[in-house]
Amino acid sequence: MRILLVDDSHEVRRQLRLLLGEMPDTEIVGEAATVSRAIELAPNCNPEVVILDLRLPDGCGFEVLERLRLMTPTPKVVVLTNYPDAVFRRRSAELGAECLIDKSKEIDQLGRVLESLCRELGGGGMVAELTAAASGSRRAKEGGLGPVI
């Protein structure tokens, strides 16, 4: 599974690199911290999956999502954000995102989502188990998770 990471936080990208580096059938094909860089990179690195933050220094992740819809083949998009409001969930869905995951409360769902996408794209493996282990038991102690799109 070819993945493009789009997040302005170096630390978030680093953590995602570590996590994805442990997952079978995954390859990080690019990283961007801005809307403009993501729009430039996406057609050149041909990702199958884009993990996309909404709040970026030069604009909104929705701009990236709109441009990704024009690519052939169209990559699957997982929105990973600190802004899980219903309006953002709805707009993400309207623009074709597979789901929106709240970084602060739903991060343990990332593994399940990536596992599903990997299978859909013809891969497999232990993505969900590795993500659950990486997210630690703290999430389990915090209680229930909000809905993913």
pLDDT of residue 43: 95
Q: How confident is the model at residue 24 (pLDDT cuts 50, 70, 90)?
A: confident
Tokens 């659950």 sit on residue: 132
149 within a domain of the structure (yes/no)? no
pLDDT of residue 21: 85
Q: Report the range of poorest mean pLDDT among 9-18, 90-99, 138-147.
A: 138-147
Residue 9 DSSP symbol: -
Q: In 3D, which of 18, 15, 19, 43 has the Cα closest to residue 30?
A: 43
Please determine, for residue 52, whether its predicted confidence score (pLDDT) is greater than 60: yes
Q: What's the CATH number where 87 sits?
A: 3.40.50.2300
Phi, psi (5° rounding) for residue 119? -65, -40
Q: In 3D, which of 118, 110, 115 has the Cα closest to residue 148?
A: 110
22 within a domain of the structure (yes/no)? yes
28 within a domain of the structure (yes/no)? yes
Q: What CA–CA distance (Å, rounded) separates 110 from 87? A: 21
147 within a domain of the structure (yes/no)? no
Q: In 3D, which of 93, 137, 138, 131 has the Cα closest to residue 114?
A: 131
Number of separate domains in the chain: 1
Sheet holding 27-32: strands in order across? 27-32, 2-6, 49-52, 76-81, 99-102
148 within a domain of the structure (yes/no)? no
Q: Which tens digits make up the pLDDT trace of 86-106?
A: 999 999 999 999 999 999 999
Write b or e for each residue in 83-92: b if 16 or more Cβ atoms lie within 10 A of its Cβ, otherwise e.
Answer: bbeeebbebb
Task: Record the pTM.
Answer: 0.82
104 within a domain of the structure (yes/no)? yes
Q: What CA–CA distance (Å, rounded) separates 8 from 11? A: 9
43 within a domain of the structure (yes/no)? yes
